[in-house]
Each structure stands twice: as C-alpha cells, then as structure tokens.
A and B are shown apart, each in its own frame.
Chain A
Amino acid sequence: MSQTLTPRATSPEGGSEKALRVGQRSLLRRFLSRPEVGSLIGAVVVFSVFFTVAEPFRQASSLSTVLYASSTIGLMAIAVALLMIGGEFDLSAGVAVITSAITAGMFSYQFTTNVWVGVGVALLVSLTIGFVNGMLLIRTRIPSFLITLSMFLMLQGLNVAVTKLVTGSVATQNISNMDGFASAKAVFASEASFAGFNIRATVIWWLVFAAIATWVLLRTRVGNWIYAIGGSKESARAVGVPVNKVKVGLFMTVGFMAWFVGMHMLFQFNTVQSGEGVGNELLYIMAAVVGGCLLTGGYGTVIGAVIGAFIYGMTRQGIVYAGWDNNWVMFFVGAMLLTAVIVNTWVRTQTSKR
C-alpha cells in the first residue's frame, strides 16, 4: 500500500542498513524521564517519614487503612488523569459521585425496587452527566473548567435540594434491608481478610481499573488518541483522530468512575449525606498532578495518579497515626502538591535535554 520512495540525493553508499543508532539513553536517564518518577520518590519519602514518626503506621492493619483511604480518591483519580491527559478538567467529579449514590439510593427506596435497578439508573445518570459535560464542551468550545464548574455548582445544589424535597432531610433513607443489597455490597463494598491483612473491595477495583486504564492508554489506539488530543487537538484532528468522540468518551469515563465510587459509598454506609463530595474534585486533580500529569494535557500516566492518590492516603492516615491535629492534613497535601509540581517540572526540563 505504501509507495516506495528512495530519494536519489540522500542515500549515501547504498543507505547502509545499520545506520548510526546512537546508543540508547542510559537506564537511569530513561527511568528519570518517566512522568511518575517524582511521585514515586515522593511516596518513598512520605512513607519513610510516617514510618519513623508514627509507631502505629508500621502495623499491617494501618497499611490496609491507608490503602482504603487511597482507593476512594484513587479510583476517581484514574479517570480524572485520563481526562487531564486528554487536555480537560472535570470540576463536577466530586459531587457527581454523590449524585450517583443519591440517585441509586433514592430510586430504589422510593420505587421499592431491587437495589440493582437503582444502581442501573444511577449508571445511566452518571454517564449522562459525563456526556452532557463533553457535549457542552465541544458544542460551545467554552473551556472545560467553566463548563464543569457550572455543572459542579448545579449538581451540588441539586444533590441537597432534591434529597430534602424527597426525604425531608439532608440524607437519603437507609436501604440496607432492601432486595439485592447484599449482592451489591459484595461487589462495591465488601472486605476480606488474608492472613490478618484486611483488604477492601475498592482497593482491588482500584488496581484493576488502573491496570485496564494503563493498558488502554499505552497499548490501544484510543490511548494514543488521548495523548494526541491533549498534546495538540488541531494536529490530532488533522491526521484523522476523532477528537470530539474521544473527549466525550473521557468525560463519560469520569462519569462511570463517579458512579462506581458512588455505589461504594452507598453500600458502605447504607445512606448518603447529600452535601458531601465538595472539594474532592480538587483532590483527584491533585493526585493526577502529583503523579506527573501536565495541567496543559498530553502528558502523564495512570500509574502516576495511583501513586499520587497513595501519597494522599498515607498523609491522611499517617497524621492520624502520628497523633497530630487532623487539620494539618490539607496543609501537608498542599505542600506536597507544590513540591511535586516543582520537582516534576525540573525533572522534565532536565531529561528532555539530550
């Protein structure tokens, strides 16, 4: 299918097959040029600090708690990282989790259906929110920051207002004795013990989704397109990448993950506090950025976001274990974000030099 082109002017001495291949960059250099390397170093540092200062942090059960705290942020961070690599933000992601949980809880309760029906309806609602975000973006060409900020505020209002309207309080009704609750809890909120080590379903799902997302990102066409539309939308379009479809797909992926985390919250706590979720959208972005994602798109990895979420989980729980005032958590998370951004930027400029 390809035409062969052999420029007469520039094939010297019969275009030797083994033309100069300058030696591969050294292993260390290649390792350092990975986007997630800064976060990996950060994770080791944070782990060492809490391991040293907080006695309880050293126990296996603490690791299990840290992993759990990391996973609920980390699941969303996976989808948010994909979206950011594709060049967009979703500020509605935090409250969208609650929207999904409220939908499932209230639908099943009000219509006395099997909870799985509510779970299905919530999935539809979540995917629709993502779809609407994406369509608004490509139709209006308004930056996703503004579109999803609007969506965030609207959902935040809707969550509380509708819950109050239907239940008369700010929380949804307890659904723990409804049909299908047990099986749904097994999927979204179960836990198991292996040799005294307690492991939560979300941790497993977190790693499974991270593996799938990494595979998609690095080994499929869609993954190639995600990097391309984040790096240069116009260039991607010019070579035939379906830019709009990929963008809408990415917002719907965030919607899907919001549904998943929302279902976890519902079946973990049986009831949903409608005012929650605010602020989490920034934690997802924080995790992705700590993990090496560029705010401008086109660069980053899912593994990095996973590590970013893990750092968050360690800090959150580590401060508790160290017996410090809980209010320091956000200060440390912020300081870590700042450090990570500075280190990532520095590493990138260093390694991109030849």
Chain B
Amino acid sequence: MATTTGTTQAKPGPPVEEGGSGPIVELRGVGKSFGNIRALSGVDLKVSTGEVTCILGDNGAGKSTLIKIIAGLHEPTSGEYRVDGRPVKFSSPREALNRGIATVYQDLAIVQLMPVWRNFFLGSELSTGAGPFRRLDVKRMRAICDEELQKMGIDLPNIDLPVQNLSGGQKQVLAIARAIYFGARVLILDEPTAALGVKQSGVVLKYINAARDAGLGVIFITHNPHHAFMVGDHFVVIKLGEMEFDAPRSELSLQDLTHHMAGGAELDALEHELERGQVPEVDPLHGVKSKESVEPELPHQAERKG
C-alpha cells in the first residue's frame, strides 16, 4: 500500500472508495445559535478530496463553531449538512469519524497526562484475545504509533512519555498523524499554527500539504492569511458568524486575502474598483469610511445599553 511519493506528487490518486466525484462534505445555509447568541448563520461550504479549504476570521468569528458542526460535536440549528451528497445528522463525533471526518481541535483532543501511544489510539484501541481475556494489543499499538510518527518525521525519545512533554508542533503532528492513520478522508485542523513559532508552523504547514497530496480534503482554520495562502486551494472568510467572502485560489492574491481579513467586503469592493481604473465616486468612499468607523463603536454601544 505504500506508494512512492514521486509518482503521485502532482495529481494524487483520488481517494478510493466513494462513488461520486462531488464534494465529500457540503454545508448549505448552515447556522448555529446558542440560546439567543447567533454564533453562525448562512454558511455554505464544499470540501472535496485533494483540496485545502482555508477558513479565516477573527477571534470569535465562529470558526470553531463551524468546524464543531462538521465534526459532529454540535448539531446545526438551521441549514443542511451533507456527506457524500446525502444529508446527515451527527449526534456524536464518533459518527463523523466513522464517515472519515477527523478533527484536530485547537486543544488537540489529547490527554496531556497519558503516554504518546495511548493518546494515538485513544478511542480506537486495538485489542487482542477473546472473552474476558480481551486486552489491549500493547505491542502492536506501540509499534504502529512509533512507525507512524517516524513517517511524519517526529522523533521521540520514548513513546511512553506523557504527551505534556512534547512541543506544540509535535503535539499537532501527533494529532494529524493519528487522524490520517485512522483513515480520515476529511481532516479538519482548528488553528493548528496559532500557538506555534515560525519553524514549528512550517512543519505543520508541510503536513497539511502532504495530507492534501495523499488525497485528503483538508479544512484549515486560521487567522493568519499568510499561512492560509501558503497551502490553500479555496478560501472562506467568516466575520461575525457570516460568510463574508468565498473564492478559489485562482481568483485572489495574498494581498486580497489579507485585505479581506483586515477590512471586509466594502473595502474589497473599493479596491476592485480602483484596480479596474475607475475613478471612485466620493459617496461610496464616505460610506465605507463611516461604516468603518461605526464598527469599533459597537462594543461601546453595547456597554451603554447593558
């Protein structure tokens, strides 16, 4: 099963089982409310094999909420969630996992006090023996964990170490290696580079690339447009729970992306006008400005009301 990477670099062999060529994961107008807090609304998203979809947005924009829906931790309160073209209602992450949707959470879903190999197999432990003598296949789990981590280029002195002794980047890669080993078709990464330095971020970005080349659909959440642009095929910007922007790589530059993160749609529209060489009318410019200046005031208004 080990294919040489050389031959499959440019166009990775598309994933095996599923029949259609449509997206694996599709969201249609998905929204989520917590009581009367509207965390997310009207989100459309498609994730296909061999594609990295980047989801960008500020803190509190709703990124984590979005991926928790995809991962089966939350049920959406509106809209439709489809996997392989059919609507689904996941009531637990296990169900999403069984459909090949694996998530590496911001907190990594690792248990700091547990040894590396036990974390690797947590929830999917290998057993041997029958009846009351059914027991963990410790030998095999340790061997596989060791091998998979080496494949990912992580060298640990000892896989019996508690995970808390690993560096931030190593923890990320452990979580990614685990997801891939357990047959993920879609890999969701929640801000994997947020807490990392430049070098460690680079390592994680490489594995995002590698996962894409292995034929996985990747959802990469970040608030760093530079990181997103290095690996992304498709970009979605979320702002205050709504999709503010959605474009394939071919339609934008890093500058655009940074711009969207910084200024929002109005500013972007303005820039496009300028790029086309049109003389911007004075009114829209004012409109943008006034909108820009309204936003920072929102918290104050809220404070006064409360």
Count contacts on B: residues with CB < 8 A to the other chain: 61
Interface Cβ pair total, 8 Å cutoff: 144
Interface string of B251-288 (1 = CB under 8 A from A): 00000000000000000000000000000000000000
Minimal beta-carbon separation of B286 from chain A (angstroms): 48
A235 interface residue, CB < 8 Å from B?
yes
Minimal beta-carbon separation of A7 from chain B (angstroms): 4
State the main secondary structure of chain B at its contact with A.
loop
Contact A220 B122 (CB under 8 A): no
Contact B127 A221 (CB under 8 A): yes
Contact A9 B150 (CB under 8 A): no
- A137–B299 Cα gap in the complex (Å)? 37
Stretch at the interface among A15-23, A52-60, A203-211, A280-288: A15-23
Contact A220 B113 (CB under 8 A): no
B66 interface residue, CB < 8 Å from A?
no
Contact B93 A237 (CB under 8 A): yes
Minimal beta-carbon separation of A337 from chain B (angstroms): 22
Within 8 A of A (CB), among B147-163: 148, 150-153, 155, 157-158, 161-162
Stretch at the interface among A128-136, A139-147, A224-232, A256-264: A224-232
Also in contact, A5 and B118, with CB within 8 A (given A22-B158, A220-B135): no
A177 interface residue, CB < 8 Å from B?
no
Contact A238 B112 (CB under 8 A): no
Across-interface contacts of B148 in A (CB, < 8 A): 2
Q: Which of A8, A235, A352 contacts B162 (CB 8 A)?
A: A352
Also in contact, A19 and B155, with CB within 8 A (given A9-B209, A221-B136, A239-B122): yes
Also in contact, A298 and B114, with CB within 8 A (given A7-B207, A11-B153, A19-B150): yes
Across-interface contacts of A224 in B (CB, < 8 A): 114, 118, 121-122, 125, 136
B304 interface residue, CB < 8 Å from A?
no
Contact B153 A7 (CB under 8 A): yes
Minimal beta-carbon separation of A216 from chain B (angstroms): 9
Within 8 A of A (CB), among B111-170: 111-114, 118, 121-125, 127, 134-136, 138, 148, 150-153, 155, 157-158, 161-162, 164-165
A240 interface residue, CB < 8 Å from B?
yes
A6 interface residue, CB < 8 Å from B?
yes
Contact B114 A227 (CB under 8 A): yes
Minimal beta-carbon separation of B110 from chain A (angstroms): 6
Across-interface contacts of A11 in B (CB, < 8 A): 151, 153
- A237–B94 Cα gap in the complex (Å)? 9
- A223–B162 Cα gap in the complex (Å)? 16
Q: Which of B9, B111, B155, B182 contacts A231 (CB 8 A)?
A: B111
Q: A10-B203, A23-B157, A354-B161 are in contact. List 9 more A-B contacts (CB 8 A).
A: A1-B183, A7-B151, A8-B5, A9-B209, A19-B150, A21-B157, A232-B107, A236-B123, A240-B92
Nearest 6 A-B pairs (CB), nearest first? A22-B157, A7-B210, A239-B123, A10-B153, A240-B94, A231-B111
Mark A residues whose CB is within 8 Å of B.
1-11, 15, 19-25, 215, 219-221, 223-225, 227-228, 231-232, 234-241, 298-299, 352, 354
